[in-house]
A and B are shown apart, each in its own frame.
Chain A
Amino acid sequence: MTDDFDSSRGLHSDVFALSEIYALHVNGGTHEVRDAWIGESLLFVLRERLGLMGSKGACEQGECGSCSVMVGGELVCSCLVLAASAVEQSIVTIEGIAPVGSPSDVQQAFVDAGAVQCGFCTPGLIMATHALLERSPEPTEFEIREELSGNVCRCTGYGRIIDAVQRVAVRRRAVQP
């Protein structure tokens, strides 16, 4: 079957004709993206071209929140954002939320509260929780449910995640003057 293979008659020029060079500002650094197909999502480019594998793809439709990152201060589903449209904006991913080896208070609370099982939804939920507590430092349980409802978890039934978020809120309040 490989006899049929003829690379000279391929679609290479068609597939990648629209590729161009663009730069993304991710986690405080600037990354040049070259030879990319213009149709690639931000999630794909973060994972496959920049090697930032922490953001996860699970639905490709913005329904599950596993791919949540911050773009220009907004929590977005990176599967729905074209990478090339995210230039000129500050992007923060799970890798940029806290220094390596020093988990954020939210990350630590998720571990301590038992909010992690398979962990596939976890990076997205960590991003969403940081965004929530930024907007609303003392959310009620109902607010937590409402605000995080764009992030689906299939393992936990959410109870321990709510506990984790509440633990952070309580601790942050305690350390405030």
Chain B
Amino acid sequence: MSALVGERTRAGRLGDSITRPDGTAKVQGSFQFSSDLNAENCLWGATLRSPHPSARIVSIDLSAAYRISGVEAIVTAADVPGQATYGLISQDQPVFASDVVRYVGEPIAAVAADHPETCRRALEAIVVVYEVMAPLTDPERVLDGSHPPIHPDGNLIRHQRVLCGDANATGPIVVEGTYEIGMQDQAFLGLEAALALPDPGAAGVELYVATQWLHEDQKQIAACLGLAPAAIRLTLGGVGGAFGAREDISLQVHTCLLALRTGRPVRMHYSREESFLGHVHRHPARIWMRHHATADGLLVKVEARMVFDGGAYASTSSAVLINAVTHTQGPYRCPNAVVDGYAVRTNNLPCGAMRGFGVVQACFAHEGQMDRLAAACGIDPVDLRLRNAMVIGDKLITGQVIENVAPVERCIRETAALPLPDEPVGGHDRNTMRLPGGAGRTADAGHIRRGIGFAVSIKNLMYSEGFDDYSTARCRLADGVVTLKFATSEVGQGFVTIAGQIARSVLGVDEVVLGTIDTGVGSAGSTSASRQTWMSGGAVNAACLKVRGLLFDAVAALYHVDANSLSIEGSDIVGASGALRVSVLEASTGLEFDETVEYRHKPTEDLDDNGQGDCHTAFAFVAHRAVVDVDPELGLVKVIQIATAQDVGRALNPLSVLGQIEGGIAQGLGLAVMEEIIMSEGRVRNPSFTDYLLPTFLDMPSVVVSLIEEPDPIAPLGAKGVGEPPTISSTPAIVAAIRDAIGRPLDRVPVRPIDIIG
């Protein structure tokens, strides 16, 4: 049922901008997303959710719902056969709330019925009596200890301090600011969807689901169902975008439970409103920073206090927080630091992974600080950043040394050198549609002010803090055709494209068949943390190399040559002397090699109590320059251009890299000027695409890109993940440009019209 079964990737090796193997199916509408899957005799599933951010459940009455014709099953907490809770890091989130609800949207029951409309009516007929309580929505109330625990695990999810160098160090120039980052939604287009097929006798279940990490889902589902992991077989349903929101469990356990209960296939699809409530978001954060510098702008010390609102359940909050505190300094040398970071529990929506994972928030603050510092020192913002730019051998405030590759200066210089837009306000055609406000035709061209802003960032790649981070790949070569098998979630990023490129480059074949992405092979880890090019790319590369070694051994034995003298040239195996040349097809005919490899990156360490330790694996750097037009009277912004130079290590597929960069910048732009889940008293005010604004064609400017290719020697293919960096410093660059245009401090994203008007 997977859309990728037997798909053959087209010719093309590493470095080629080949097209996606699933591209044709996607443009024809025949690619099967998880929401497109169906089965004979299938029921629909739906979820009853809490309307209150904090309440005690007094009673749940299902009788009226059961009387509705077409309702086949209703499950609640009482029906969860295994562990009652789940979670990526700590298992603190109930499958269904039983005694209390802790956020608006928390699942209470799930229904299986014959039609979505029957489901809707059944949910309406379930009677839940609540004793409503006042919600805890202000993170500061957790830190001042004025609110009793809302969860047995307490209200503080994690506190991490970083102490580096001399805590009492000062500099003649001191700047400080308090920065706020709103709650952003991943807003993938392909809503949460799954299809569960029960085994006879409820011995197990087969689940087709759009997820970022099949094996982690398998583990968590099995625990909640009280079954062995092997009894839960997962296959990736086509994924309509992810961006972090599919790392946590959402509908997986519910769908499986309903299928096991009814003995029938069940599919569950979230609505858009439900999706806003049903997955984790980017943490809203409040960050205070104070920078000390010399008169010529060299950083002496950074101080920070960061508060991340994790919402009702822990999800990945503790890891997000670590990313934030360990990236406090940005891509700059800074010998001294005192940082305190807190991730807290509230009755707001749970927050967790989103593209950039904690670094987005830290970067918005440190880049705001760098601009303040530049102004205080009377130094150009770009020059100030160059003076402080990290180089190889510099240390993070965690004591970790930046090794191998650190083209920070190049990122800055190349970004600054990219051409500025030549068009005047309103464009050459003086079209009012091009002004801020667009089709509203409200702005007066004569009042528009243009601004330019700059920002730079550093992002850790892969998992940190001692996590056993690995990926598995299987390579089979027979009769000149390679078949690859991995459980790497393809969420749109294009791993399926580069997997074929890797196999063709290593083995000299043309034809690469991709096996179904499922739990029939070892874990690939999550498609997150910019890690799959490095990790699953590393695994595919290693598996192909192992097969190549066996192929060379066979050729060496047959032709009586030294296997070590053989190499791949085009689609041939050639000997060092040039005497031997045999095609891979011919050499592998009648033979079969089948190897499975686990790839691991170098181990990382936990942070100690002072935030010291080599907790990260590797880093990528990027700079962004934004040009904006601002209407200061109406508070409207139009982004005119983004320029960026990004450290990519090596572009394995330049077209894919470009797509990641442009797409990531669009999400950074969204956070800068429009995207925010607005909550008041624990309730979401805008859970729809009418009220949660996403960048459209008209909001995205042209993007000018320079790829910086300095292969990382510890990366298996020299390539770094490219997904997250574009999202990180694009946001502060745009805000800096707006500040430049209007001459006001703007310390909050998204920047709203009222912030501009003041």
The segment out of A80-88, A110-118, A169-177 that lies at the interface is A110-118
The segment out of B133-141, B532-540, B657-665 that lies at the interface is B657-665
Q: What's the dominant secondary structure at chain A's contact region?
A: loop
The reply to whether the CB of B610 lies closer than 8 angstroms to some CB of chain A is no
Q: Is the CB of B24 within 8 A of A15?
A: no
The reply to whether the CB of A25 lies closer than 8 angstroms to some CB of chain B is no
Which residues of chain A come closer than 8 Å to B178, judged between CB atoms?
A: none
The reply to whether the CB of B703 lies closer than 8 angstroms to some CB of chain A is yes
The distance in angstroms between the C-alpha atoms of A117 and B30, with both chains bound, is: 15
Q: Is the CB of B698 within 8 A of A145?
A: yes
Which residues of chain B come closer than 8 Å to A149, judged between CB atoms?
A: 696-698
The distance in angstroms between the C-alpha atoms of A11 and B666, with both chains bound, is: 47
The distance in angstroms between the C-alpha atoms of A155 and B665, with both chains bound, is: 10
A-B CB contact pairs (8 Å), 19 listed: A4-B62, A5-B67, A11-B118, A15-B121, A53-B29, A58-B191, A61-B688, A63-B689, A111-B19, A112-B19, A114-B655, A118-B240, A119-B25, A121-B189, A154-B243, A155-B241, A157-B664, A159-B700, A160-B659
Known: A53-B32, A119-B240, A157-B665. A152 touches B431 (CB 8 A): no
Q: Is the CB of A1 within 8 A of B74?
A: yes
Q: A residues touching B (Cβ–Cβ < 8 Å)?
A: 1-2, 4-7, 9-12, 15, 37, 39, 44, 47, 52-61, 63-64, 66, 93-95, 98, 100, 103, 107-108, 110-112, 114, 116-123, 126, 142, 144-146, 148-162
Other than the given A155-B663, A157-B700, 18 more pairs (CB < 8 A) read A39-B117, A53-B29, A53-B32, A54-B30, A55-B29, A64-B189, A95-B28, A98-B28, A107-B27, A110-B23, A111-B24, A117-B663, A118-B240, A119-B22, A150-B696, A152-B689, A157-B666, A160-B655
Which residues of chain B come closer than 8 Å to A112, judged between CB atoms?
A: 19
Q: Is the CB of B271 within 8 A of A117?
A: no
Q: Is the CB of A120 within 8 A of B29?
A: no
B680-695 interface with A by 8 A CB criterion:
688-690, 694-695
Which residues of chain B come closer than 8 Å to A122, judged between CB atoms?
A: 26-27, 29
Q: Is the CB of A107 within 8 A of B688?
A: no
Which residues of chain A come closer than 8 Å to B667, judged between CB atoms?
A: 154
B1-34 interface with A by 8 A CB criterion:
17, 19-20, 22-33
0/1 string, B469-496, CB within 8 A of A gives 1: 0000000000000000000000111100
The reply to whether the CB of B738 lies closer than 8 angstroms to some CB of chain A is no
Q: Is the CB of A116 within 8 A of B29?
A: no
Q: How many residues of B contact A (CB 8 A)?
A: 78
The reply to whether the CB of B743 lies closer than 8 angstroms to some CB of chain A is no
Partner of A103 from the list B28, B62, B492 (CB cut-off 8 Å) is B28
Which residues of chain A come closer than 8 Å to B689, judged between CB atoms?
A: 58-59, 61, 63-64, 152
Partner of B697 from the list A110, A144, A155 (CB cut-off 8 Å) is A144
Q: How far is the CB of B125 from chain A (nearest CB, A)?
A: 9
Known: A57-B191, A118-B241, A144-B697. A37 touches B117 (CB 8 A): yes
Which residues of chain B come closer than 8 Å to A93, judged between CB atoms?
A: 29
Partner of B662 from the list A11, A57, A95, A157 (CB cut-off 8 Å) is A157
Partner of A114 from the list B31, B191, B493, B659 (CB cut-off 8 Å) is B659
Q: How far is the CB of B695 from chain A (nearest CB, A)?
A: 8
The reply to whether the CB of B59 lies closer than 8 angstroms to some CB of chain A is no
Q: Is the CB of B189 within 8 A of A120?
A: yes
Identify the 10 closest CB pairs spanning chains A and B, nearest first.
A54-B29, A10-B69, A118-B492, A119-B26, A120-B240, A157-B662, A157-B666, A94-B29, A12-B69, A111-B23
Q: Is the CB of B28 within 8 A of A156?
A: no
Which residues of chain A come closer than 8 Å to B688, judged between CB atoms?
A: 59, 61, 63
Known: A54-B29, A162-B697. A119 touches B492 (CB 8 A): yes
The distance in angstroms between the C-alpha atoms of A145 and B640, with both chains bound, is: 13
The distance in angstroms between the C-alpha atoms of A81 and B698, with both chains bound, is: 26
